[in-house]
A and B are shown apart, each in its own frame.
Chain A
C-alpha cells in the first residue's frame, strides 16, 4: 500500500506543476495586466511603463513565471483590482465558508444517499425501490438552481425557518456558541438543497452496485454456507458495493466545491463561488486566476484522496 501511495504522490507533483503552467498561460492570454485596473487618465504613460518595470512585467515569461510561482508558494497571489486588496486576504474567509458548506453538503449527501441506495438495491423492483428510483429521476431532471430558488422561497421567505443570505448572523462574536449555531443555521438550507439533488447519483450508483453484487458467485457461496439473509447483506454485499462509492469520495468533495457556485449565488452565501462569478463579470483577473488555480489543485488532491482511500479499503491494491 505504501508503495502505491508514494508512487501516487510522485505523480501528483508534475500534475500540479503542469496545472500551474496552464493557469499562468491563461493569465497571460487575458487582456491587460496587473496595472490595467489602475488606469487612471491622470497617470501618464511614462509612469505606467516605469511601474511595469518595477513590477517585473517587462521580464521574459520564464522569469515572470518563476516570480509568480515564488509568490504563490509564499501565499502571495497578487492584488484584486476591484477590491484593491490582496487576493489572499480576500479569498481567505470565503474559502473557509465554501469548505464548510461543502463538508456539510457531503455529510448530507452520504447521510441521505447511503441508506436510500442500500434499501433501493436490496429491495430492487419492489415498491420502495420504485419510489426511491422515482426520486432519483426527479433529482436528475431538476436543475440545482431551480431547486435552490424554490427552497429559499418556501423555507426562507414564506415559512421563515432559515435565513435567506449570508453565512452567519451579523454582530456575533466568533468563538461563541451563538456564532457557531448561527453558522450551522445558515449552512443548513443551502447544504440540504445541494445534497437532495447531489445525492441522486450516489443512490443510483449504490443501487446498481448492490443489484450487481447480489448476483455474484461469492454471494451464492455465502448462502450455501447457511448465512442468513441479513448476514449476506451486511458482511458480503454492502462491503463490496460500497467500495467504488468510497473511491469516489475525493472526487465528490471536489465536485461540490466547484458545484457550490450557483447555490452560493442563490443563497447569497459569501463563498468562493460567489466571488468567482463576480471576478469574471468584473474582469478581476488575478482573483479569477487564483480561484481557477485553487480549484484545479483541489481536483488533483481530490483524485489523490480517492486513490488513497481505495488503496486502503481494497485488498487487491492494499497488498501489492
Chain B
C-alpha cells in the first residue's frame, strides 16, 4: 500500500552477552503509515529503545535480523554510508534526555547547522542561518538569534528539547521517532512539547513512532498503539480500541494501574514484578505468564501468536480469554462465602 511509510517484518535485535546473543526485540512486525502516530508502550526494559535504534541503524554491536522496509527499501543492516543518507534526513529521532543529547562544546546554531550541511550541501551559509533561525522560531524558542550563538548549558531542559526537535525536523523527515521525548521534563513543559510535536507532525505530514510509558501521552497523541513486553508485541490496536477494550493481561494491568480520578470503582490493580533482564527473558511460551501465576497454565499457548480478534486489533497468546485480576477473584470468593 502506498500509504505505508515503514514496515517492520519479523525484526529481531540481539545483543551479545558473553558468548551468546540475546534478543531484546523478538520477532516484531508492525507498520507506520504517513501522517500517523504509532505509540509504543511498555515498561522499562521491554525493548522499545532497542527497536527504535534498530530502525535508525544506531546499534553498533547488535545482530539485526528481519526486514525494516522504509519507503519500499529494506534498510536493515544497510552500510552506514548509505544509512547516513536517510538518518537526519528522511528518518529522524528525538531523544529522551535533553540534558545530555547536545554537544556541550558546540553552539546551538552549529549543532542544527550540522544536520543541514550533511543533507543540503548546496545551501549557502547565509541561507542556512536564516533557515535555522526560522526553525528555532518554529519550535517556539524565544530570541532565536541570541540562542543561535548560545551553548547548551545556557538553556533549560525544555528549551534544549526544543533544540533537539529542531535538529530532528531540520530536513523535514518523513518518519520521526521520538524515544520518550518528555520523560525528563516537568509536567507543564511536557504538555508544551507534546503540543509542539503534534503541530509539527500535522505540518510536515510525517509518520511518528512515539515511544513512551506514559499512557496519558498515548491517549493524547497516538492513532494506534503497540504494547511491548519482554521484546515482543503483545497487543496492537487503534487507540480507542486499546483504551476501551484492552485484551492482553499486560495491557489491562498497564491501563488499570493508572489512577483515574473519576473512576467509580476507585481501585488500582497493580501487577507486581518487573521485566526480566535480557539474559533471563523467558524464550518459550507466554512471556508474561510468570507475572500472572494465578492464571492456570493451560490458559497459555505453547507458542503464543498474535491473534486478530477484530480488524486491526491483535493480541498475543490465548491467556487473555481467561485472565482476571486476583482482587476480583477474592471479591467473588467473599461474595460466595457471604451467600452461603
Contacts and interface: CB of A to CB of B under 8 A. Distances in A.
Interface of A: 216-218, 220-229, 231, 235-236, 239-240, 243, 314-316, 319
Contacts of A315: 104-105, 151, 153
14 contacts: A217-B101, A218-B103, A221-B164, A221-B167, A223-B87, A224-B88, A225-B88, A226-B86, A226-B87, A226-B89, A226-B118, A228-B84, A235-B114, A315-B104
Contacts of A225: 87-88, 114-115, 118, 167
Nearest to B107: A315
A224 B101 CA distance: 11
B58 interface: yes
B105 A224 contact: no
Interface in B74-122: 80-81, 84-89, 92-93, 95, 97, 100-106, 111, 114-115, 118-119
Interface in B30-67: 56, 58
B202 interface: no
Contact of A226 (B84, B105, B153): B84
Contacts of A217: 95, 97, 100-101
B217 to A, nearest CB: 21
A224 B175 CA distance: 13
Nearest to B151: A315
A227 B114 contact: yes
Nearest to A229: B80
Give me the 4 closest cross-chain CB pairs, A-B, nearest first: A226-B88, A225-B88, A217-B100, A226-B87
A224 B114 contact: no
A80 B97 CA distance: 64
Given A218-B100, A240-B103, A224 B92 contact: yes
Given A221-B95, A221-B102, 19 more contacts: A218-B103, A220-B101, A221-B103, A221-B167, A223-B58, A223-B87, A224-B87, A224-B95, A225-B167, A226-B84, A226-B87, A227-B114, A227-B118, A231-B118, A236-B103, A240-B103, A240-B104, A315-B105, A319-B151
B58 A227 contact: no
Interface of B: 56, 58, 80-81, 84-89, 92-93, 95, 97, 100-106, 111, 114-115, 118-119, 151, 153-154, 164, 167-168
B153 A218 contact: no
A315 B164 CA distance: 19
B132 to A, nearest CB: 13
Contacts of B97: 217
B86 A220 contact: no
A220 B87 contact: no
Contact of B101 (A221, A227, A228): A221
B202 to A, nearest CB: 23
Interface centre among A223, A228, A231, A316, by most chain B C-beta atoms within 10 angstroms, is: A223
Contact of A228 (B81, B103, B115, B167): B81
Contact of A316 (B86, B103, B119, B153): B153
Contacts of B118: 225-227, 231
Nearest to A243: B105
Contacts of A226: 84-89, 115, 118-119
A223 B91 CA distance: 12
Contacts of B89: 226
A222 B103 contact: yes
B104 A222 contact: no
Nearest to B154: A319
A236 B102 CA distance: 10
A203 to B, nearest CB: 22
A24 to B, nearest CB: 44
A231 B105 CA distance: 15
A319 B152 CA distance: 11
A315 B110 CA distance: 14
Contacts of B104: 218, 240, 315-316
Contacts of B103: 218, 221-222, 236, 240
A236 B111 CA distance: 10
Output the residue of A227, A228, A229 with the most chain B CB within 10 A: A227
B96 to A, nearest CB: 8
Given A216-B100, A227-B114, A319-B151, A314 B105 contact: yes
Nearest to B170: A225
Nearest to A239: B105
A220 B115 contact: no
Contacts of B153: 315-316, 319
| Residue from B81, B84, B154, B168 with most neighbouring chain A CB atoms (10 Å) | B84
A274 to B, nearest CB: 42
A18 to B, nearest CB: 34
Residue from the set A226, A229, A236, A240 with the largest chain B CB neighbour count within 10 Å: A226
A218 B101 contact: yes
B250 to A, nearest CB: 29
B143 to A, nearest CB: 16
Contacts of A220: 58, 95, 101
A314 B111 CA distance: 16
Contacts of A236: 103, 106
Contacts of A319: 151, 153-154
B333 to A, nearest CB: 51
A211 to B, nearest CB: 13
Contacts of A222: 103, 114
Contacts of B87: 223-226
